[in-house]
């Protein structure tokens, strides 16, 4: 069977792909199921896309898993998502290590329940020496939160005299962001037909190409990822 993978130019791969995984709730609703059923099935898509990116040679994959705004969802959904996240993270550590993938997380992680935070930190520690690809989960994350947080840290350094006003430029500022060790994403993918940035990597997406698909996240598979990359390479 032919695959869109054959159309990918490996000399022009994006180094960093970012994804807004959207549509889990609508996917579940279509089947008359609870929203969490959609999130549970979204895990398979996370696995498929992580595997596909690592196989291709993408160095950074960043997933919007839980936004600052998501805290406003029903307690039942938030609790279920937190449990699903920590369960999945713990279950996937072996696969991450077998595939030489480093796990990373950005966002206001102090807001996560302790059991979730602990599972995350353990998985990050257990995969820290892997260097094939960095998989970053954005948890309790929003671009405005990140920028505000960066401004505070930067202002502190100015107040303490460690940093001079004249030293602040784009490069200096980006070193205060959670993504300081990563290149900016060349490609942003959003599923489910929505075409908004929704407070995702506001600073980092300044020059990225955006790719939208009507597919809901649980239906997104490896071929869809290849299609997004081929589309990006044809621009």
Q: Please, which residue, 73 or 157, has the CB nearer to ligand FPP? A: 73
Three-state SS for 84-139 is HHHHHHHHHHHHHHHCCEEEEEECCHHHCCHHHHHHHHHHHHHCCCCCCEEEEEEE
> Cβ distance 24 to 38 under 8 Å?
yes
Mark out the alpha helices in the chain (DSSP H runs): 24-30, 35-56, 75-98, 114-126, 143-159, 170-174, 222-233
Tokens of residue 192, six digits: 């489910």
**88 lines the binding site for ligand FPP (CB under 6 A):** yes
Q: Give the range of 15-23, 98-106, 124-132, 165-173 binding ligand FPP by CB under 6 A.
A: 15-23
d(CA 103, CA 100): 10
Q: Please, which residue, 37 or 176, has the CB nearer to ligand FPP? A: 37
**229 lines the binding site for ligand FPP (CB under 6 A):** no
Q: Please, which residue, 25 or 107, has the CB nearer to ligand FPP? A: 25
**188 lines the binding site for ligand FPP (CB under 6 A):** no
Q: To the nearest whole angstrom, how small is the minimum distance from the Cβ of residue 215 to ligand FPP?
A: 12
Q: Please, which residue, 137 or 177, has the CB nearer to ligand FPP? A: 137
**49 lines the binding site for ligand FPP (CB under 6 A):** no
Q: Give the range of 38-46, 109-117, 149-157, 221-229 binding ligand FPP by CB under 6 A.
A: 38-46
Of the candidates 4, 34, 48, 84, which one interacts with ligand FPP according to CB under 6 A? 84
Of the candidates 13, 19, 46, 133, which one interacts with ligand FPP according to CB under 6 A? 46
3-state secondary structure of 211: strand
């Amino acid at each position: 069977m032919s695959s869109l993978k054959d159309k990918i130019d490996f000399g022009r791969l994006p180094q960093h792909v970012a994804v807004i995984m959207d549509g889990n709730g609508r996917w579940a609703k279509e089947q008359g199921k609870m929203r969490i059923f959609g999130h549970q099935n979204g895990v398979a898509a996370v696995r498929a896309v992580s595997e596909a990116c690592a196989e291709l040679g993408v160095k950074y994959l960043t997933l919007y898993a839980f936004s600052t705004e998501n805290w406003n969802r029903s307690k039942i959904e938030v609790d279920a998502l937190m449990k699903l996240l920590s369960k999945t993270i713990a279950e996937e550590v072996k696969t991450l290590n077998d595939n030489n993938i480093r796990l990373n997380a950005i966002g206001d992680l102090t807001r996560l329940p302790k059991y979730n935070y602990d599972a995350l930190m353990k998985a990050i520690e257990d995969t820290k020496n892997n260097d094939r690809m960095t998989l970053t989960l954005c948890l309790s994350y929003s671009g405005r939160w990140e920028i505000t947080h960066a401004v505070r840290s930067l202002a502190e350094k100015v107040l303490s005299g460690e940093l001079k006003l004249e030293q602040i430029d784009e490069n200096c500022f980006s070193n205060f962001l959670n993504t300081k060790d990563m290149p900016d994403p060349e490609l942003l993918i959003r599923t489910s037909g929505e075409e908004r940035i929704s407070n995702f990597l506001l600073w980092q997406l300044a020059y990225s190409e955006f790719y939208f698909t009507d597919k809901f996240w649980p239906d997104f598979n490896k071929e869809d990822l290849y299609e997004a990359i081929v589309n990006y390479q044809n621009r």
